[in-house]
Amino acid sequence: MNALKQLFGGNTRQFGMVFALIALIVIFQIATGGLTLTPDNVINLFNGNAYVLILAIGMVLVIIAGHIDLSVGSIAAFVGIVVAMTMRDWGLPWYAGILVGLLLGALIGAWQGFWVAYVGIPAFIVTLAGMLIFRGANQFVGKSNTVPVPKDFQYIGAGYLPEIGPDTGYNNLTLLIGLIVVAAIIWGEIRSRRNNAALGAEVSPLWVSVLKLVLLSAAVLYATYLFATGRPGTSFPVPGLILGVLVLIYGFISSKTIVGRHVYAVGGNRHAAELSGVQSKKVNFLVMMNMAVLAGLAGMIFVGRSNASGPFDGVGWELDAIAAVFIGGAAVSGGVGTVVGSVIGGLVVAVLNNGLQLLGVGADLTQIIKGLFLLAAVAFDVYNKSQGKPSITGLLTRNFGRGKNAPVEQTSEVVPNTTKETISTEA
Amino acid sequence: MAPSSPVILEMRSITKEFPGVKALSNVSLAVRAGEIHAICGENGAGKSTLMKVLSGVYPYGTYSGDIVYQGQVCEFKDIRASEHAGIVIIHQELALIPELSITENIFLGNEPTRFGVIDWNRARRASIELLARVGLRENPDTPVKELGVGKQQLIEIAKALNKSVKLLILDEPTAALNESDSQHLLDLIRGLKAKGISSIMISHKLNEIEQVADSITIIRDGKSIETLDVKADGVDEDRIIKGMVGRTLESRFPDHVSNPGEVFFEVKNWTVAHPTVPDRLVCKNSSFNVRRGEIVGFAGLMGAGRTELARSIFGRSYGNFVSGQIVKDGKEITLKTVQQAISHGLGYVTEDRKSLGLNLLDDIKATTVSAALSKISNNSVVDNNKEFNVAEQYRKQLRTKTPSVNEGVAKLSGGNQQKVVLAKWMFTDPDLLILDEPTRGIDVGAKYEIYGIIQQLANQGKGVIVISSELPELLGLSDRIYTIFEGSITGVLNKDEASQESLMKLMTAAKRAA
């Protein structure tokens, strides 16, 4: 028990969230008699959920800044249909189509960002309007028809890494990516240990680091193995790759850059941020605009995967993305949340969906279970906070991005009655 | 009268623990019927925790020890239970709902009903009566948001009276009030005493305590140190401070030899309109200047326009600019945004630490660098090591009491929070630092340290403006003091010519000097 605590506690707490995900996978693996962890299923899981996870990345930033975005599904659908039609009617090549999609996303984002940031209308209202406007626009432009997209455009939604190099019986590129990830994880841990030592912060015992690395590497290698040994023609899916790159970029932006700090600052206390020289309007504008760009991207990936853009694409996506973000430990009141946490939250929902599907549970029951799961996950978190214990999801995901130095024990200088206030502001 | 009357409340060896902290250890308190009992102690000493135990915020069973009230051992399971017994707590942060009317607020949670429907007529009549008892002449239908803090405080008391209070607990009741409102409130508490309502009062304003309290219990580090009988023991402020800090403070201000240089910052004919009421001017044609290495005080009653003046200069972060000039180092500068103000070497520490000064979700190190992120960044990528080192350096320099700079700012006491905020602005390396009520809600020991920091900044050649409601503080700290009355600067006095009386005259009289 103590060993577990050492492994999952201290500054290795981020493992816990992954641990919950693994537990879910193991349960379904047993319940489905081994159907969960097959190459095909895992590939499907990524393919079928990449767009929601991409939305979750944008959504967590919106929620950290203290807003919400209900329009992402409609924006995705509108961008999808416009891109499909420009390629069909104007004969644009696939890359130009993607460019059109991203620009259109940025334009829509600027529109919504303008109302939220500069006019000061709550994002809930602006994006509720956007949800209607862009759903209608999708159906108006496409005349409620389905518009197919060309073969090479489908690659971004349904493509796989190509086979290159010698025939090893595996997909070589997938193997390469897996090895790079493992190397990066090991390098990161060594660097963090060295850093903490140099700063005089707490360094976890060596065996904890080693065990952590062994477990994490094993998981990555196993996933690599699954992706690399799928049916011929399949390997690591392109949407998964796009997602991975986005997680890296946005994880970095949110935790390491000035803009990222400003997003947290505005969400945590807008007035204090403004009096510290943060241009909160600009931050709000950027966050809303970024969300729409990612929604456009998600829409295009979905269109690529389903070979065509239709009038009911993206219905309900906003809620999936929002659920992922809150399961991932974000706070409704803003200021709290992480990109990686949200993606893991999204994966938890995806695994739940997938596992229930494999078990042959109907859509009706699946929804009920998902709803209860969301409630339970957040309730557990809130309960823990109200007990004065640290928030599970918050702590589990905290060290992914911000505050990587070891959390320190409470002290006698602490004013006890402020603990409760903090809790209520966080919850 | 106090010593003869019976004990109404006794708290016996109360011990309350939080995970990792013993907030109260064997604290005892005895309050006599019809007395005003003050509780003094530094921030974090455990005063508020003790009151939360008493009022049932921390229910029976979460602490050890006995509460004996009117001869019975009480086991309050929530606030309702303690209110039912006649113990009402009024928190520092008022619990009124701004949009609701006075009547609705007074009867919130306690609405009189007739056949299950709220009887507003009865409520209204009762609230008129209650308003009269607290000496407030207001229409009971007025929304509470239209009242000042002083009047809101009185509404809270009216609300307590409505609950047939026998023991009133006031947590820092005058912290946000100006002199005259405070006086009115204290008179009211004395009036209640005459009617047999006992009060427990927590306050940092020792002069008020000395003025109204019958007895004082001093708490230090979660332990009750002593109970003083004000009249019998001849208690004065120094005596209370001695008990609170456990030693005699030689002086309330560190020694400081000021050596101001030439004028480097000037504001001329500064006029600013209210943000929502354009024809109301909050700053009228104000002019002042600051020398290098000088500590300039700004005295004025609350609402006189001190904060408005400071914030409008600080990147127009308040109100609508009408006219005026800012000259720094001989050149006129225009500061339209906070960012411009910071880059021109201005810093502003707000009077409202919690809602305007801090992101309570942040840790110390992130707060310390938050106004000067570019200083620890390369190509807008934050260098976490530099961040840690900067925060660590200020922690040591300002002696912030925290185990680590990774600690959340919400966990710090007021004094330490203020040090973190000061660190944040010191790190921007300002030429002119404006401190708005820098010691509000801070205990005596930490005040002394903050004064020391302010003087150090002046010694480094920075100009420091101190806005304060506490005249002794301004007199002890400033080289020069400007007075403000209703948005106008009414005078300026040098350290040697200023006194509480002369300042008060300028702060209240109509604009003679303007």
In the prediction, which pLDDT does A299 show?
Answer: 96
CB contact under 8 A, B359 and A272: yes
CA angle at B424 for the pair B423 and B429, rounded to the nearest 5°: 85
pLDDT band at B203 (very low <50, low <70, confident <90, very high): confident
Contact B20 A410 (CB under 8 A): yes
| Residues in a beta bridge with B363 | B408
A5 SS3 class? helix
Q: How would residue B200 be classed by pLDDT, with cut points 50, 70 and 90?
A: very high
User: In this complex, do A414 and B52 lie within 8 Å of one another by their Cβ atoms?
Assistant: no
| Residue B12 and residue B114 in one domain | yes
Query: Are both B39 and B97 inside the same structural domain?
Result: yes
| Same domain as A364, residue A269 | yes
B348 and chain A in contact, CB less than 8 A: yes
A16-20, A295-299, B260-264, B413-417: range with lowest mean pLDDT: A16-20
State the amino acid at position A422 in one-letter form.
T
- Flag whether residue B378 sits within 8 Å of chain A, measured between CB atoms: no
Q: Are B457 and B433 in contact (CB under 8 A)?
A: yes
Is residue A362 situated within a structural domain?
yes
User: In a 10 Å sphere around its CB, with 0-12 CB exposed, 13-18 middle and 19+ buried, how is residue B132 labelled?
Assistant: exposed
User: What does the pLDDT read at residue A124?
Assistant: 96
Q: Based on the domain organization, do B65 and B37 belong to the same domain?
A: yes
Q: Are residues A190 and A148 both part of a single domain? A: no
* Cα Rg of chain A, angstroms: 22
- In-domain check, residue B429: no
Which pLDDT score is estimated for B208?
86
The answer to which of A400-409, B77-86, B429-438, B457-466 has the lowest mean pLDDT is A400-409
Tell me what pLDDT residue B168 has: 92
The residue whose two tokens read 């007895």 is B215
Q: What is d(CA B379, CA A396) in angstroms, rounded to the nearest whole number?
A: 30
Please check whether residue A131 lies inside any domain of the structure: yes
C-alpha neighbours within 13 Å on the C-beta side of residue B121: 1
Q: Are residues B286 and B229 in the same domain?
A: no
- Residue of chain B whose alpha carbon sits nearest to that of A197: B385
A244 in the same domain as A126:
yes
Residues B86 and B180 grouped into a single domain: yes
Query: What value does the mean pLDDT take over residues B427-447?
Result: 88
Same-domain status, B86 and B221: yes
Is residue A330 situated within a structural domain? yes
Residue B353 lies in a domain: no
Residue A84 forms part of a structural domain: yes
Sign of CA dihedral A204, A205, A208, A213: positive
* Per-position DSSP letters for B104-131, written without gaps between them: HHHTTT---EETTEE-HHHHHHHHHHHH
* CB-based contact A275 B411, cutoff 8 Å: no
- Strand extents, DSSP E, B351-479: 377-378, 381-382, 432-436, 463-468
Domain presence at residue B212: yes
Based on the fold, state whether residues B261 and B187 are members of the same structural domain: no
Which of B245, B274, B290 is where one domain is finished? B245
Within a domain: A98? yes
Residues 121-140 of B with CB under 8 A from A: none
**Cβ–Cβ below 8 Å for B20 and A279:** no
In chain A, helix, strand, coil percent, each to 5?
70, 0, 25
3-state secondary structure of B270: strand
Query: Of B196, B229, B245, which residue constitutes the final position of a domain?
Result: B245
- Phi first, then psi: what are they for B397, rounded to 5°? -65, -40
Helices (runs of H) and strands (runs of E) counted in chain B:
17, 24
- B225 shares its domain with B87: yes
Can you name the residues that pair with B267 across neighbouring β-strands?
A: B288, B326
Residue A66 lies in domain: 36-159+238-375
Q: How far is CA B128 from the centre of its chain?
A: 30
Q: Measured between alpha carbons, how far is A193 from A185 in angstroms, rounded to an integer?
A: 12
| Residue from the list A260, A277, A417 with its beta carbon closest to the beta carbon of B339 | A277
| Cα separation, B365 vs A402, whole angstroms | 11
pLDDT at B248: 61
Same domain membership, residue A350 and residue A266: yes
Q: Is the ipTM of this complex over 0.90?
A: no
- Domain end residue (candidates: A204, A236, A268): A236
Q: Which helix (H) or strand (E) holds A262?
A: helix A258-268
Any domain includes B396: no
B113 and B95 share one domain = yes
Mark whether A188 and A242 lie in a shared domain. no
- How far apart CA A414 and CA B21 sit, in angstroms, is 8
DSSP label at B363?
B
Tell whether B80 is within 8 A of chain A (Cβ): no
A2 in a domain, yes or no?
no
Q: Do B389 and A199 touch (CB under 8 A)?
A: yes
Residue A282: how many other CB atoms lie within 10 Å: 15
Q: Is B79 on the interface with A (CB under 8 A)?
A: no
The helix (H) or strand (E) run that includes residue B380 is: none
User: Which pair of structure tokens corresponds to residue B202?
Assistant: 């927590």
Show residues of chain B in contact with A264, CB under 8 Å: 359, 361-362
Tell me whether B403 touches chain A (CB under 8 Å): yes
The 10s digit of each residue's pLDDT in B448-466 is: 889 999 999 999 999 999 9
Residue A26 is which amino acid? V
Tell me the pLDDT band of B353, cut-offs 50, 70 and 90.
confident
Q: Which letter does DSSP use for residue B354 in this model? A: I
Give yes or no: residues A187 and A140 share one domain: no
pLDDT digits (tens, 9 = 90+) for B35-68: 999 998 876 678 888 998 998 888 888 899 999 9
Indicate the residue of A272, A277, A411 with minimum beta-carbon distance to B403.
Answer: A411
Residue in A414, A419, A425, A426 to test binding to B, most B beta-carbons within 10 Å? A414
Chain B CA closest to residue A336: B361
Exposure class string for A346-381: b at 16+ Cβ within 10 A, else e: bbbbbbbbbbbbbeeeeeeebeeebeebbeebbeeb
User: Do A185 and A194 meet the contact criterion of CB atoms below 8 Å apart?
Assistant: no
Q: Which of A415, A425, A395, A419 is nearest to A407 (CA)?
A: A395
| Same domain as A123, residue A202 | no
Residue B350 touches chain A, beta carbons under 8 Å:
yes
Residue A143 CB-density burial (10 A; 0-12 exposed, 13-18 middle, 19+ buried): exposed
pLDDT digits (tens, 9 = 90+) for B268-319: 999 999 888 888 888 999 999 999 999 999 998 777 889 999 999 999 988 8
Question: A414 and B424 in contact by Cβ < 8 A?
Answer: no
Q: What share of chain B has pLDDT > 70, as a percent? A: 96
Position B414 pLDDT exceeds 90: no
DSSP letter, residue A257: B
Class of residue A307 by CB neighbours under 10 A (exposed 0-12, middle 13-18, buried 19+): middle
User: How many structural domains is chain B composed of?
Assistant: 2
Assess if residue A401 is contained within a domain: no
Chosen domain end from A206, A236, A266: A236
Residues A359 and A259 in one domain: yes
Half-sphere exposure of B54 (CA within 13 A, CB side): 30
B384–A411 C-beta distance less than 8 A: no
How many domains, in total, are found in chain A? 2
Give the H/E segment covering residue A421.
helix A416-426
Q: Distance between CA atoms of A80 and A101, rounded to whole angstroms? A: 7
Indicate whether B229 belongs to any domain.
Answer: yes
Kindly give the parts of chain A with pLDDT less than 70.
1-18, 201-202, 384-427
Q: Tokens for B486, please give them.
A: 């209703």
Note whether A139 and A271 are same-domain residues. Answer: yes
Cα–Cα distance for residue pair B287/B265, rounded to 1 Å: 11
Residues B195 and B324 in one domain: no
CA distances from A355 to A30, A141, A236, A348, A349 (A): 10, 37, 20, 10, 10
Is residue A357 domain-shared with residue A226, that is, in the same domain? Answer: no
Rounded Cα distance, B317 and B311, in Å: 5
> Do B160 and B292 fall into the same domain?
no
- A411 contacts on B by Cβ (under 8 Å): 20-21, 402-403, 407
Candidate from B46, B348, B385 with C-beta closest to A195: B385
B178: domain range? 2-245
A407 and B CB contact within 8 Å: yes
Q: Do both A181 and A280 map to the same domain? A: no
Task: Give the domain-ending residue among A329, A345, A375.
Answer: A375
Picking from B245, B280, B302, the residue at the C-terminal end of a domain is B245
What are the pLDDT digits (tens) for A34-60? 888 888 899 989 888 999 999 999 999
Distance from CA of A72 to the nearest CA of B (A): 28
| Contact of A241 with A297, CB cutoff 8 Å | no
Same domain, B192 and B280: no
Q: How far is CA B149 from CA B91, B159, B185, B303, in A?
A: 13, 15, 11, 11
A258 touches chain B (CB under 8 A): yes
**Cα–Cα distance measured from residue B274 to residue B317, given in angstroms and rounded to the nearest whole number:** 12
B90 part of a folded domain = yes
Asked, for residue A64, whether it belongs to a domain, the answer is: yes
Does residue B276 sit at the A interface (CB-CB below 8 Å)?
A: no
Answer yes or no: do A257 and B380 touch at CB < 8 A.
Answer: yes
- What are the tens digits of pLDDT across the range A243-282? 999 999 999 999 899 999 999 999 999 999 999 999 999 9
- Which structure tokens are listed for A267? 């969400």
Same-domain pairing of A262 and A130? yes
Query: Does residue B380 carry a pLDDT above 80?
Result: yes
Neighbours of B329 (CB within 10 A): 14
Give the DSSP per-residue string, A290-346.
HHHHHHHHHHHHHHHHHSEE-TTTTTTHHHHHHHHHHHTT--TTSS---HHHHHHHH
What ranges make up the beta strands (E) of B246-360? Answer: 263-273, 281-291, 295-300, 320-328, 331-333, 346-349
CATH code where residue B264 lies: 3.40.50.300
Query: How many CB atoms sit inside 10 A of residue B194's CB?
Result: 9
> Does B433 contact A at CB distance below 8 Å?
no
For residues A295 and B455, give the distance between their C-alpha atoms in angstroms, rounded to a whole number.
54
